[in-house]
Amino acid sequence: MTQQKPTIGVLALQGAVELHRPHVEACGAEFRTVKTPAQFEAVDGFILPGGESTTMLKLIERFDLWDVLAEQFAKKPVWGICAGSILMAEKVENPSQKSFGLLPITVQRNGYGRQIDSHHTLIERYEVSLIRAPVITAVDDSAEVLARHEDTPVWVKRGPYMASTFHPELTQDFPSPMHRAFVDLVAESA
């Protein structure tokens, strides 16, 4: 581990993986795609990308990665985006499904409606996209809400874990404030 140049691993089973590269590199960090235990071991923090949480869960089970990921997440920062935030939640609804429970939040999958309801918005004056996003319906007091959209928490953090229900990586203005925040978090804990 290098303090000046943390290595960020994006879980590359499914979803929006490569789009994170320019953001991570613009923060001065190293970008890696990771999908094997040896690759997990070699990074300082994880991004769980947006995509389809059910598909990710199936692949995690198929490749028998649940326990090794849980072990890694217990010792390194993790940022879950959209589907990734669903994997991090303590409780998932609509329907309920397995999750790593890293953040004391309840999420309702596809809570903003169908694909057609996906939209852009500004968070911290930065354009982000909500794409079939979950709605965070409960946040424990021990977690910090970093941003809200129409009164609903969309960016939450506790200790080394953060989740955003929006995608900042689609915007080509590098790096996003969220990537900056996460790389700083990883650098602090490395």
34 contacts 65 by C-beta, under 8 angstroms? no
Q: Which residues contact 117 (CB under 8 A, 6 or more apart)?
A: none
Binding flag, residue 82, ligand GLN (CB under 6 A): yes
Alpha-carbon separation of residue 56 from 19, 61, 100, 154, 157 (angstroms):
18, 9, 12, 21, 22
Binding flag, residue 20, ligand GLN (CB under 6 A): no
Site for ligand GLN in 133-162 (CB under 6 A): none
Instruction: Determine the interface stretch with ligand GLN among 21-29, 48-56, 148-156, 179-187 (rule: CB under 6 A).
Output: 48-56
Binding flag, residue 109, ligand GLN (CB under 6 A): yes
Least Å distance, CB 113 to ligand GLN, is 11
Least Å distance, CB 75 to ligand GLN, is 25
Select from 91, 39, 93 the least CA-distant residue to 65. 39
User: Between residues 87 and 143, which has the closer beta carbon with respect to ligand GLN?
Assistant: 87
Q: Which residues contact 179 (CB under 8 A, 6 or more apart)?
A: 20, 23, 24, 26, 27, 168, 169
Select from 183, 184, 177, 50 the least CA-distant residue to 125. 177
Binding flag, residue 51, ligand GLN (CB under 6 A): yes
Least Å distance, CB 20 to ligand GLN, is 13
CA 8, 120, 140, 93 torsion-angle sign: negative
Least Å distance, CB 185 to ligand GLN, is 21
Q: Which of 23, 149, 167, 179 is catalytic?
A: 167
Q: Which of 23, 27, 149, 169 is catalytic?
A: 169
Residues that bind ligand GLN (CB under 6 A): 50-53, 82-83, 86, 109-110, 131-132
